[in-house]
Amino acid sequence: MFKRTLKKRIVCAGYGLHTGEFSRIIIHPASEKDGILFVKKVGNVLRYLPLSSSKVKSTMFATTIGNDDFVVFTVEHLLSTLHGFGVDSAIIEVEGDEVPGGDGSASLFADAILDAGIFTLTAQKENILLDNTVRVEHNTGYIEYTPASTLIIDGVIDFNHPRIRRQQYTYHNSPEHFYSELAKARTFGFLKDYTTMQALGLARGSSMENTVVLDEKDVMNTDGLRFRDEFVRHKILDMLGDLYTLGGSLKGHITSYKSGHSLNHMFVNKIASFMEKKAIVAPQTLQPALVFTV
């Protein structure tokens, strides 16, 4: 029910999945007024980038946010972790252009946040709840929203690949469920797309250390999968991160079919347009406070 931040600062470092360059983020505890605020030293001046859906600059294979001062590539796994743990306020100092990729999942951030601990602030959480259904579609994919008192994401993917095919997973947002069921699900890619992505300046840091790689028939990583349905879990992890660009936690039952970053942001923009029209409120009493015990 109350806003949350970290008990102490954490540092995450490593190579970016897309730029392939080394970067570092320092996540500082913040006040309830700060929200999720990215900060970067540009020259000798500190520049600020408050998270909102209007700051999303690209959704091609990853989510990039930015303003006139700086951009940050591949924010979705970090944002997913903050959303999963219910962290409403954090100042994220960025050194480099991309959030570190870790092992391609959210483990790098989730383990660090667990280690630091959560601090409960005194202001009420700002949840987002619409009173109407919302649907967006693109090609054969869609995302549908119906109002509910908690966030549930029911995701389905369907890939014409023998190791994926149709997978379904239902996620109920809570720190415990996030940590045990989503955080470890890694990003995945197809070997046949690798050359194209590199030509677009993407996947420059990807390897089997941080990506589940599929050839025509099978998973190429020698240690296999972490979950039988790791692929759909990762898609839901991505969506949870993309939804956090709304600037608060959306409450509702989301059904998705073949979601991806572009479709996620079509959905986010539609929700944001309703928020503007209706001055959507924070229904504070809908969800009891979640206490995560380390």
- For residues 106-165, which are near Zn ion according to CB under 5 A? none
* Residues 186-205, interacting with Zn ion (CB under 5 A): 187
Subset of 159-188 contacting Zn ion (CB under 5 A) = 187
- Tokens standing for 100? 């570190």
What distances in angstroms separate CA 291 from CA 118, 157, 288, one per listed residue?
9, 32, 9
Instruction: Report in angstroms the alpha-carbon separations of 259 from 39, 159, 223.
Output: 30, 12, 27
Nearer to Zn ion by C-beta: 187 or 249? 187
To Zn ion, the closest distance from the beta carbon of 40 in angstroms equals 22
Of residues 40, 21, 201, 11, the one with CA closest to residue 108: 11
> Which among 12-20, 126-134, 202-210, 236-244 is the span making contact with Zn ion, rule CB under 5 A?
236-244
The label of the residue with tokens 């809908």 reads: 286
- Minimum CB distance to Zn ion smaller for 4 or for 184: 184
Q: How many residues does the chain have?
A: 294
The beta-strand segments (E) located in the chain are: 2-6, 10-15, 22-29, 36-42, 45-50, 56-58, 64-66, 71-72, 90-95, 118-124, 127-128, 134-138, 141-146, 151-159, 165-172, 188-190, 212-214, 249-250, 252-257
Output the smallest distance, CB 34 to Zn ion, in A. Answer: 26
Under the criterion CB under 5 A, does residue 230 sit at the interface with Zn ion? no
Residue (60 or 286) nearer to Zn ion, CB: 60
Nearer to Zn ion, 126 or 238 (CB): 238
Binder of Zn ion out of 238, 249, 256, 261 (CB under 5 A): 238
261 catalytic? Reply is: yes
Q: How far is the CB of 151 from Zn ion (least distance, A)?
A: 18
Give the active site residues.
Answer: 261
Residues forming contacts to Zn ion in the complex (CB under 5 A) are: 187, 238
